[in-house]
């Protein structure tokens, strides 16, 4: 369904690599996917977001799947507040509380059962496809990583696939999980490991100011430490269970759009894991 011009979206509130967020009416937001993004991506995010809402997780409800200027768009209920990433810069003294909050939200996701009947993809199958398509790595390196993947557990829990401070909205003391475009089912250790990998190696948003970068660089290590400690305590998982996924996730992430320096860092993680002990 196309949005009529008289109901055109309002001001742009945020820009990302795949979409922009705009006001839509009095109390709604419109996530408009960028040109070239397949409609299937929006359809999947709509379905995965509905699954998370039905499971009782704190996430904005996707209400309609529409089209604006020949691009897919999703209508969401509007949240107040700001992203946790933005809050870390504005109120860095809340660092430890926010990191623990992120861990609690992640554990809540992982306590939600999922599986083939959920309509979500299997994480291990998705990782296999990405590793096979990953640039930089040689055929032998890919084979080594895929052998490691085969030894890891499948799991049947809901996974977000990209949980980090920019995908959490903070409204007062409540946190809301956003952006379910990479949701899947699998083992919780894989999903937590992805978050750890992002906090270790992930680049900051392209529009980040120098001051923003300096503050985030200084708090990143503390954020990771508190998140990891809290997540392991609440989930009952061991650190080694997360670390076992790191080379696999690093290889798969090479198939994503990333700055060259970040790709080199990820390739280094993969190659280090393949060296003889």
What are the pLDDT digits (tens) for 128-165? 999 999 999 999 999 999 999 999 999 999 999 999 99
Task: Please give the mean pLDDT across all residues of the chain.
Answer: 91
Question: Please, where are the H alpha helices in 135-275?
Answer: 139-151, 188-201, 210-235, 239-243, 246-253, 260-274
Statement to judge: residues 73 and 86 lie in one domain: no
Please say which residue of 77, 95, 112 terminates a domain. Answer: 77
192-225: burial string, b at 16+ Cβ within 10 Å, e else: bbbbbbbbebbeebeeeeeebeebbeebbeebbe
Q: Which domain holds residue 195?
A: 82-274
Do 70 and 105 sit in the same domain of this protein?
no
| Tokens found for residue 45 | 């995010």
Q: Are 106 and 10 within one domain?
A: no
Residue 88 has φ and ψ, to the nearest 5°, of: -60, -30
Q: Which of 53, 77, 101 is the last residue of a domain?
A: 77
User: Residues 9-16: what's their mean pLDDT?
Assistant: 82
User: Does 104 have pLDDT greater than 70?
Assistant: yes
* Predicted confidence (pLDDT) per residue in 29-40, tens digit: 999 999 888 899
Runs of H (alpha helix) within the chain: 39-54, 84-90, 95-110, 123-133, 139-151, 188-201, 210-235, 239-243, 246-253, 260-274
Whether residue 28 is found in the same domain as residue 86:
no
* Predicted TM-score of the model (pTM): 0.91
Grouping H, G, I as helix, E, B as strand and the rest as coil, residue 66 is: strand
With cut-offs at 50, 70 and 90, classify the pLDDT of residue 221.
confident
pLDDT of residue 93: 86
63 with 29: CB under 8 angstroms? no
Q: Do 70 and 198 sit in the same domain of this protein?
A: no
What does the pLDDT read at residue 115?
87
pLDDT band at 245 (very low <50, low <70, confident <90, very high): very high
Q: Determine the pLDDT at residue 14.
A: 82
CATH number of residue 244's parent domain: 3.90.1200.10
Q: Does residue 209 register a pLDDT over 60?
A: no
Q: Domain total for the chain? A: 2
């Amino acid at each position: 369904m196309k949005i009529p011009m008289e109901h055109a979206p309002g001001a742009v509130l945020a820009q990302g690599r795949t979409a922009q967020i705009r006001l839509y009416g009095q109390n709604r937001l419109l996530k408009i996917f960028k040109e070239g993004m397949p409609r299937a991506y929006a359809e999947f995010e709509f379905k995965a977001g509905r699954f998370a809402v039905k499971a009782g997780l704190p996430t904005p409800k996707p209400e309609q799947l529409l089209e604006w200027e020949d691009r897919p768009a999703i209508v969401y209920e509007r949240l107040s507040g700001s992203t946790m990433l933005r809050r870390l810069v504005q109120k860095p003294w809340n660092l430890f509380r926010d990191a623990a909050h992120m861990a609690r939200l992640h554990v809540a996701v992982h306590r939600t059962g999922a599986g083939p009947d959920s309509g979500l993809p299997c994480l291990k199958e998705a990782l296999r496809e990405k590793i096979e398509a990953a640039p930089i790595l040689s055929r032998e390196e890919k084979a080594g990583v895929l052998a490691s993947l085969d030894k890891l557990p499948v799991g049947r829990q809901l996974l977000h696939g990209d949980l980090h401070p920019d995908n959490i909205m903070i409204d007062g003391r409540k946190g809301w999980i956003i952006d379910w475009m990479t949701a899947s089912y699998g083992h919780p250790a894989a999903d937590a490991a992805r978050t750890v990998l992002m906090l270790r190696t992930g680049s900051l948003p392209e529009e980040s100011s120098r001051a923003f970068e300096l503050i985030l660089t200084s708090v990143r290590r503390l954020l990771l430490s508190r998140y990891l400690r809290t997540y392991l305590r609440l989930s009952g998982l061991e650190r080694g269970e997360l670390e076992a996924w790191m080379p696999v996730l690093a290889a798969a992430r090479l198939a994503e759009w990333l700055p060259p320096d970040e790709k080199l860092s990820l390739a280094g993680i993969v190659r280090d894991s393949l060296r003889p002990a």
